[in-house]
Each structure stands twice: as C-alpha cells, then as structure tokens.
Chains A and B, each alone.
Chain A
Amino acid sequence: MTDTATPKTWKRFLTRQLPGAVLALAVLAEALAFMLDGVALRRHDLDLLALNVQRTAPKPSPKTVLIGDSVTQDILKTYAIGRPGAVANLTTNMASGLVGAYLLLKRYTAAGARPQHLVIASTPEFFTFHPQGETARTYVTSVFRDSAEIAYLDTVMTGPPPPYEPAILQMDNRVGLKALALLAPKPDGLLMGSRAPDPGQGATPGDVPRSLQDALEIRGRAPLSIPATNVRILGDICALARTYNMTVHIQNAPVAYSTYRLWQNNATLKTFERQRADVLQTVCADVSVTVGADTPQVPDGAMRDSDHLVRHDWTNVYAVKLNALVNGLP
C-alpha cells in the first residue's frame, strides 16, 4: 500500500467520503430529475407520436385516422396510404396495446383533429394483448403523463403501480433519456411514408428457416381472447368515435399460411372474431362499425418473424389492400 493509502485513510473513505459522495449524488440526481420533469421522453416512435399529435393538429383535418400495431405501422411509415393529406397515422406497436392507441387518439382529437373514419388495421393480438410490467412502463405509463391520462391509466392498468424510487436509481429514465430528448431534433408530423403502393408489383416468398416455422407455429397455437380491460378500452374508443362522429372500420392484418391454418384447425380465429363481434355489439352499439370480411393470408416465406412482413414486395401487398380500403371510404 502506498504512503497515503493507510487503514486510517480507508476508514475515512468508508465513513466520510463514500457516504458523502452517495448523498451528494442522490441530491444532484433529484435536482436534475426535478428540472427535467416536464420533458417528454423520445425513446421510440410512440414517444414521438404522443408528442406530435398534440403539436401538429392539421388543418383541414385528415378524413381518416389509422390505428393498429407494428405490422401496419411498417406500411404507414413506408407507403403513402390514401390521398395526400387524407390519412393520419396513429399506428403504434403491440407493446402499447389498445390502451396506447386510445390515449393517442384522445390526444389527437383533443388537439382539434376531426377525422370522419377510424380504421383499426391490426393483428388479432392487438385486441387480446394488454401491456403489463416493464412493457407497460416503457410503452404506456411513462409515455402518457398528463393528469387525466394518469387517472385513466389508474383504472385500466393491472398490477401494482411501481413503488417510488429515488431519482438516482432511475437515472436513465428520469435524467439521462430526458436530457437526450432535449438534445434530439423535434420532427413534426406523424411518420407518413411516401412510396406509392403498386398493385402491379409481384411478390415472391423467401426461405422459411426453422426459427420462423417455430415462431409461426407458436403464434398459431396461442389463444386469442379479448380480456375485460380491453373490452373496456374498446368501449372508450367507440365513445370517442361517437363523440366526434367517426365511423369505425376494422381490418385484420395479413397472416402466414401456417398460422392461419392452425387458427382454422383450432377454431381460434373464428372464436376470436365471434367474441370481437359480441364485444363491438355491446360496447359500440350506437357507432357505425364495419369489420373486414377477410384475413389476408401470405406464404410463410413472406414473414420476417411471426407477425411482421419481410420486405417491400410483401409490405406492398398489404399497402395495396389498405390503400383500397381507405380510398373506398365515403
């Protein structure tokens, strides 16, 4: 040991310097967190969208607003769906669930947008999944922080609320990511793509590796049932549609043959669609709701994983379908 590092100086380190540093860092973190409290996070597309729907209420309002999960989000971010200015993209991902879509739509309408049509284009799982735990924290509760939103989330989010933690133990969320959000550019708009869907373009499936086969099978065997919380949220979406005179259109996203076959064999899809129809009849009774008759099917090799299309020749197929749906709305 060197001359300066004696047991005595280490004792001072352990009894004074280390506790002093702990205290100083804790206080500093609280102060930084307090200063950055109002800064919106910018971790993922949903953070951006939640920020932009409030800031950029377009005039005139787009006629159609689209919500859904990532398989549809992939399309909207790449393709120009509908006529210019006619569609607003509020698609998210499954992790934020119906609850995230509802709160986005609420922010959008509260900002003055008045769409006539609400299109829900998604996987069936978008209706059956309800975020919990860390997923809910990352994609819902830390995104929607207005007091009315917090009050709403208190009524629909399951599981105990996270206990209070000092800012020093949440430096990434309460300080680091917020400081980065301050530095990040603030693009306006709703992440709309510019490529025109091409009805004449062909599509060829790629390889189907074992991991993809397994993923498709796992998806095909998983149950599809709408939980009570999502029934409530679907009712709230319809209430919003009712308030702003929107018609609701529901379209299932493309599914791989293998998954579809398993759903058919086990009557999973049929049971789910029946349940969804019953729910809509109950909670959306006085809203005009149309449900797309078909679930588009694609070869297994058109998928990147269990629920995403692999590349633009296949995303184009779905884009063409969505474009026709949107353009066909009155």
Chain B
Amino acid sequence: MLFSSAEFLFWFLPLSLLSFHFARAQWGGQAAMGTAVAASLFFYGWWNPPYLVLILISVGINFLWTKSLVRRPGLAKLLVALAFNLGLLGYFKYRNFFLENVDFLVNGNADAIGSLGPIFIPLGISFYTFQQIALLIDAYDEAVEAPPSLLEYSQFILFFPQLIAGPIVLYRELAQQFSNLEENHGAGLSLFGPGVAVFALGLFKKICLADGIAPFANTAFGAHETITLLEAWAGTSAYALQLYFDFSGYSDMAVGLGLMFGFRLPLNFDTPYRARNMIDFWKRWHMTMTRFFMMYLYNPLALSLSRYGLARFRHGGVIFIITVAVPTLATFLLSGLWHGAGWTFVAFGAVNGIGLIANHAWKGLKGPKMPFVLAWSLTILTVLVSFVYFRADSLTAAHNMLSAMFSPSAFILPNWLEGVAHQLGLEWRTLSMLSTGTYAVKCFFWVVALAILSVRMPNWAKTYDDLKPTWSLAFVVAFMGFWAIGWLDQPQTFLYFQF
C-alpha cells in the first residue's frame, strides 16, 4: 500500500486517523498508540503477510535486549544484539550478493545465485534494523533514561509513516512525545492542519514531479549502450531530480502523516541541491541516514583512528588520511552498500566519499573560497556522477553513461537537427531518447522546471510551525491535492522502498 495509492488515501489513512484520535479522546494515549500499532501492522502486512512474522520477531527480541541494556549495560550483550540485527539484515539483503562474489572469486563466475534462487528483501528492513541498532547503542551508552514499554517500543519501530523508508528516527526524538501522549497532554489535533499541508506537498512532489520526470530518466538509462552525450546529461539530470522529488516527497508525506497523528518526525531533506560543497550536501540529503552513519560509525571510527594516528605520526598528510580520509571512505562505502547489495551502490558511496575527502582536504589546506557558481557546479557534478552509479543496473551500464557524458565523440545531434549538424560538420542520427523535437522540448522543460523547483520550492516539512492557515495556503494545498489525485492512476513504487 503506497502512500500515493487510492486505497491508502481514501481508506487506510482516514480510518487509521479516525480510530487513533477517537481512541485518544475516549480512552487515552495508550489506547491511541495501540490502534496506531495495529494499523501499522496491517499496513506492513498488506505487502507480504509472512514478513510480519519477521518484523515481529525482530521487534520482540530487540525490545528485550534494549530493556536489558538500559537496566544493565554490557558490551557482550550489545555485541550479540548487533550481531543478531546485522545477521538478519545480511541474510535477507546481502546473502546472494556475498555468495555471488565468493563464487566469482573462487570459480570465476557468479552462478551460485542460480542454484540459490531469488531472495526477497523484506520491506523496510534496512530502516527498522537501523532504528533498533541506534536504540541498542544508545541504551548501552546510557543515553536512554527509562526503558520503553512494549507499546512505546512497538510504536517507535512500527509507526507506519516512517516504517518503510524512514526518516530514521532516534528514540530520544519520540520518547517525550510518547510520554506526553500517554499522560493525555500530547499534541492532539493541533498539528493536524500543518500535517495536511506537508502531506499534500509530499504527495504532489511524488506523483506530479517525480513520476512526471521519471520516463525521461528511464529511457536514457534503458538505452545506455547507444546513448549520446546530450541524452546522457539529460537522462542523468532527470534522474537526479526524480530521485530528489521521489524521496523528499516520501519524507514530506512521512512528516505530514506524523503531524496528523500528533507526532513530530525529524526532517530528512533540506533543499540539498542548494549545497555549495559535498559536506553541505550530505547535511541536507537523507539527513537522518547521514546522522545515523555519523553518530554510530564515523564518529567512533574517526575517534579511534585519531587516537591511533596522532600518537604515532607527525606528517599532516598521513594524519589527514588516517583521521579523515579512511573513516570518511569507510563510512560512505558502507552507506553505499546499505542502499543496495550491488557494486553500483558501493561505487555510489565511493564517489561521494572521495568528494567529501576532497572537500575536507580543501578546507584543511585552507584553499581559496571558490566562487559560488564553481563550487555549486563541482558539487552537483560529483552528485550527478554518483547518481549514475546509483541508478544504473550494472557497473558497465554506469560506465557507458559516464563515458557518453564526458566523451566529446559522443556529441551526436538528433536527426531533427540534421540541418544544423550538416552546417557544423557534426554527426547526427536517430536518437533513442531525444527521438523527436517535441520529446526533447518536453524533456528540457521538465528538467529546467524541476531544477528550479528543487531549489526554490518551500520546505514545509522544515517550516510547518511557521505556516499560516490562510486562504492562499488552502488554495495551494487544494490545487496540489487535486493534481496529485488526478494522476493517481499510474502509481509507481517509491525508489527508496528497495533499500
């Protein structure tokens, strides 16, 4: 059940909201949370009921471990709990990838997968596993004041707005809100209005913008073997915009839904295409994932390596490599792998890691401040290159795209510009993507319009406290809602669901 599906919008959401707020008003916060958990289990089971068993086992075991760690922290307990969670994630998400690569190294081919058969990744496993790992580590670090009740824990992990694709919430962000609700002085319906506005914006971004531009990206990446320079740039730009509006749209919907239930979920996107360097970009893109990796991987790793490096080396370059480059690259390679079990995702992480290392090195060397246009262009270029790996089906496909983007010999004009090609002495042919002038104009319009929107569109998921309930807001929300509902009949899966 997608957020952008008719069954969610017209049945599930109204019924779950009604039952939650009715239970809250009649029987109090705990009853309301009970209905929210029940609704979330129904929501999750809608896709594949057997995976309910897996998520319930995961939640049950992690709840007991968390409780135990809060009461009596112990490294052994934490390590066993982490091994369980990473083992579960590894088995369901990375088993085939691992065996394929072992087979390739041992036998020179990757046929093991054939005998194993396909394995289906339980929806949202990366997200709910990470939330539980974060809480386990926080409990071990004694950063959790009181152990959550089973109801609170279930609500924290299973709450459907954030269950499938984040944002990756920390328990400390919700603990107080849970207490308030249980003590019957939660937000109630006071956030409902802003929630509707934020949700409508997210729905509009997903259905009208992301799905609207998707065909251009799909055509380009589908034709990577014959793609030309113009098509490769158009297709990659289209994909970067599709990914942004798809995932930020989803995140807005999650935040909006949270508000409708009276919960404030963390912001996940802060207009990332405005970033003028890679450090800035990762502070704005998929912020809760970046925060997770920073808090629970990069910081401990960097701290350990800093202690090691500073004690043994004097050379600035070596210290930079040990204290910054290694933890950054390790973190981004793993975050790439977290996105998907494939070498393309590792390459995606590597490109971003290298970009960040270059950014840190420039800062460390006190390089001159770049003009905005140059800094922004370099940032977006790095992001685009990494997104080619993110989207491509294989490394070969990614390299085909990149070689077309950066090879002057791939500058071939479409057949409808044959006259111009003859005048300029350039090659031309019937192109796969820009096959007609009309299609090319449409593609250009979509890319330019969405590029402008990606940096100019207001970020209500961040500023909902400042929204003013005016007639103009009502018209904007109604317009976006109508437009999105009008296009509902072609729903697509959210890109981030696969992770």
> Does B179 make an interface contact (CB < 8 A)?
no
CB closest residue in chain B, given A304: B430
Smallest Cβ distance from A199 to chain B, in angstroms?
20
Majority secondary structure of chain B interface residues (helix, strand, loop or mixed): helix
Task: Check B483 for interface membership: any CB of A closer than 8 A.
Answer: yes
The answer on a CB contact under 8 Å between A25 and B190 is: no
Q: How far is the CA of A312 from the CA of B193 in the complex (A)?
A: 59
Establish whether residues A25 and B478, one from each chain, have CB atoms under 8 Å apart when the complex forms: yes
| Interface-centre pick from B196, B223, B430, B475 (highest chain A CB count, 10 A) | B430
Check if A312 sits within 8 Å of B226, measured CB to CB: no
Q: Is B22 an interface residue when CB atoms closer than 8 A count as contact?
A: no
Q: Is B194 an interface residue when CB atoms closer than 8 A count as contact?
A: yes
Interface status of B482 (Cβ within 8 A of chain A): yes
Contact with A along B436-479 (1 / 0, CB 8 A): 00100000000000000000000000000111111101110111
B225 to A9, Cβ gap below 8 A? no
Residue in A25, A165, A171, A305 whose beta carbon sits within 8 Å of that of B475 in the complex: A25
In chain B, positions 221-256 with a C-beta closer than 8 Å to chain A are 222-226
Smallest beta-carbon distance B460→chain A, Å: 13
29 contacts between A and B (CB under 8 A): A5-B469, A9-B469, A10-B192, A12-B469, A13-B193, A14-B193, A14-B196, A17-B469, A17-B470, A17-B473, A21-B479, A22-B482, A25-B482, A134-B490, A165-B486, A168-B482, A168-B486, A169-B485, A209-B225, A209-B226, A211-B225, A211-B226, A304-B430, A304-B432, A311-B415, A311-B428, A311-B429, A312-B415, A312-B418
Q: Tell yes or no: B75 within 8 A of A by CB.
A: no
Shortest distance between the CB of B55 and any CB in chain A (Å): 34
Which one of A17, A209, A310 contacts B430 once the chains associate, using CB atoms below 8 Å? Answer: A310
Q: Top 10 nearest A-B pairs by Cβ distance?
A: A10-B193, A13-B469, A209-B225, A17-B474, A169-B486, A21-B474, A21-B478, A21-B475, A7-B190, A22-B478
| A60 touches B (CB below 8 Å) | no
- B189 within 8 Å of A by Cβ? yes
Among A14, A171, A211, A312, which residue has its beta carbon within 8 angstroms of that of B486? A171
Cα(A182)–Cα(B163), bound, Å: 47
Bound Cα distance from A5 to B467, whole angstroms: 7
**B192 contact set on A, CB distance < 8 A:** 10, 14
Partner of A7, one of B189, B470, B475: B189
Report how far A127 CA is from B196 CA in the complex, Å.
50
CA distance A171 to B486 in the complex (A): 8
Cβ of A13 and Cβ of B432 under 8 Å apart? Answer: no
Residue of A nearest to B427 (CB): A311
| A207 touches B (CB below 8 Å) | yes
Known: A18-B474, A169-B486, A170-B486. A10 touches B223 (CB 8 A): no
A20 at the interface (CB under 8 A from B): yes
Name B residues whose Cβ lies closer than 8 Å to a Cβ of A: 189-190, 192-194, 196, 222-226, 415, 418, 428-430, 432, 435, 438, 465-471, 473-475, 477-479, 481-483, 485-486, 490
Q: Is the CB of B482 within 8 A of A169?
A: yes
User: B469: which A residues are within 8 A, CB to CB?
Assistant: 5, 9-10, 12-13, 17
User: What's the minimum C-beta distance from B16 to chain A, rounded to whole angstroms?
Assistant: 18
Return chain B residues, CB-CB under 8 Å to A20: 471, 474
A120 to B483, CA, bound (A): 41
Query: From B428, which residue of chain A is reached at the shortest CB distance?
Result: A311
Query: Closest B-chain residue to A3, C-beta based?
Result: B468
Answer yes or no: A44 CB below 8 A from chain B CBs. Answer: yes
A10-B469, A17-B473 known, 20 other contacts, Cβ within 8 Å: A1-B465, A5-B466, A5-B469, A7-B189, A9-B469, A13-B473, A17-B471, A18-B474, A20-B474, A24-B475, A25-B478, A165-B486, A171-B482, A211-B226, A304-B430, A304-B432, A304-B435, A305-B432, A310-B430, A311-B429
Interface string of A275-319 (1 = CB under 8 A from B): 000000000000000000000000000001100111110000000
Question: What residues on B are CB-neighbors of A188 within 8 Å?
Answer: none
Please report the C-alpha to C-alpha distance between residue A80 and residue B234 in the assembled complex, in whole angstroms: 33
In the assembled complex, how far is the CB of residue A31 from the closest CB belonging to chain B, in whole angstroms? 15
In the assembled complex, the Cα of A312 lies from the Cα of B415 at a distance in Å of 9
CB distance B430 to A4 under 8 Å?
Answer: no
Q: How far is the CA of A172 from the CA of B152 in the complex (A)?
A: 45
Whether the pair B486, A2 counts as a contact (CB closer than 8 A) is no
How long is the Cα–Cα vector from A9 to B194 in the complex, in angstroms? 11
Q: Which residues of A contact B490 (CB under 8 A)?
A: 134
In angstroms, Cα B478 to Cα A12, docked, is 15
Are B478 and A2 closer than 8 Å at their CB atoms?
A: no
Of chain A, the residue at the smallest CB distance from B485 is A169
Known interface pairs A7-B189, A21-B475; A172-B486 also in contact (CB < 8 Å): yes
Measured in the bound complex, the distance between the Cα atoms of B226 and A210 in whole Å is 10
Q: A4 — nearest CB in chain B belongs to which residue?
A: B468
- Bound complex: CA of A210 vs CA of B394, how far in Å? 14
Tell whether A153 is near chain B: CB-to-CB under 8 Å: no
CB distance from A30 to the nearest CB of B (A): 12
Cα–Cα distance between A86 and B415 once the two chains are bound (Å): 26
Q: Does A212 contact B (CB under 8 A)?
A: yes
- Smallest distance from the beta carbon of B438 to chain A beta carbons, Å? 7
Contact with B along A204-232 (1 / 0, CB 8 A): 00110111100000000000000000000
B196: A residues at CB distance < 8 A: 14, 18
Q: Which parts of A246-264 form the interface with B (CB within 8 Å)?
A: none
Q: Produce 1/0 per residue, A71-103, CB < 8 A to B.
A: 000100000000000000000000000000000
**In the bound complex, do residue B194 and residue A18 qualify as a contact, i.e. CB atoms below 8 Å apart?**
no
CB contacts (< 8 Å) of B418 on chain A: these are 312
B429 touching A10, Cβ below 8 Å: no
State in angstroms the CA–CA spacing of A44 and B438 once bound together: 8
Contacts of A304 in B (CB 8 A): 430, 432, 435
B426 to chain A, nearest CB (A): 14
Please give me the residue from chain B that is nearest to A44 by CB atom. Answer: B438
- Between B196, B418, B468, B485, the greatest number of chain A beta carbons within 10 A of the residue's beta carbon is seen for B468
Kindly provide the distance from the CB of A170 to the nearest chain B CB, expressed in whole angstroms.
6
- CA separation between A20 and B225, bound complex, in Å? 52
Chain B hits for A29, CB < 8 A: 482
Closest A residue to B486 using CB positions: A169
Residues of A within 8 A of B435 (CB): 304
B467 and chain A: residue at smallest CB distance = A5
| Nearest-Cβ distance from residue A77 to partner chain B, whole angstroms | 10
Interface residues of A in 1-55 (CB under 8 A from B): 1-2, 4-5, 7, 9-14, 17-18, 20-22, 24-26, 29, 44
Give the residues in chain B near A44, CB-CB below 8 Å: 438
